Structure 1
Amino acid sequence: MKKKILAGLLTVSACFTLGSTSFAASAPTTTPDSTPVANVATSQEISTKGTFDQIIVHMDSGTWRYIPGFLELIFNDGAIELYEDGWVRAVQYGASTIFSYDQYGNIVAYTILVDRN
């Protein structure tokens, strides 16, 4: 049984090897279009387009806080309630993470820790 499987695998690999070389020999060679150096962004320019900051917020249960930007709730264990208008209400002891995006590509990660009363 093992010999049949081994023979089958060798046959399949031989077919791929023979097939790939015949296609490689007939493929036309072309050169890609070149881009002028003035239009290529450097790594320094790319890195300054957006920033990433992290802010840790301590809140007591029942308090409110406004977070600006387009918000995405990443993690919540029931500690907060996030409203569509950007307001956050601390509900109970726990933690949550919210990402806030702005139109310039900046991201702020808010880690909200609701303290015990």
Structure 2
Amino acid sequence: MKKKIMVGLLTVVACFTLGSTSFAASTTVPSPSTDPSGTSNVITPTDDIVVPIDLNVGEKRYLGGSNFWVSGDDSSIYLDQQGLVIGIKKGICTVVADLPSGDTIIYRINVK
């Protein structure tokens, strides 16, 4: 009984994965890799995540990520490598950082 349920569930998953609800379609489903090294050749695109931040002059906040750098004019903020950002004077700037997932996060900082 358990084997029939498992086969049925796998059949449904395969149909949704292939984007078709037709059971009559002739397709080949690749079997899982038996590569003992555990490496994957799958390349996934990275996404840019944009986060708007409003700061008052003198206000500070820690940003998430690593490898911080400022794109454009950085005179309105102070930024250190641990992600501490402090509003220095009115203005708008962009801080870019890497996330552990491989994505890039873009902070649009508006100092009021």
Check whether TM > 0.5.
Answer: yes
In which range does the TM-score fall when normalised by the shorter chain? 0.5 to 0.7
**Residues 1:98 and 2:92 aligned together:** no
Deviates more, 1:72-81 or 1:52-61: 72-81
What root-mean-square deviation, in Å, do the aligned CA atoms of Structure 1 and Structure 2 show?
Answer: 2.0
Is the 2:65–2:105 Cα contact (8 Å) retained in structure 1?
no
State the shift of 1:46 in Å. 2.7
**Residues 1:54 and 2:50 aligned together:** yes
TM-score relative to the length of structure 2: 0.57
- Deviation track 1:47-75 (CA, whole Å, cap 9, x = no partner) reads 3xx22111111110000010121212112
Number of residues paired by the alignment? 73
Unaligned runs of 5+ in 1: 1-37
* 1:68 match: 64
Q: Which has the larger radius of gyration?
A: 1
Letter in 2 for 1:66: Y
What are the within-5 Å matches in structure 2 for residues 32-47 of structure 1? 41=42, 46-47=44-45
* 2:84 match: 87
Unaligned runs of 5+ in 2: 1-32, 34-39
Give the structure with the higher percent helix. Answer: 1
Identity %: 21
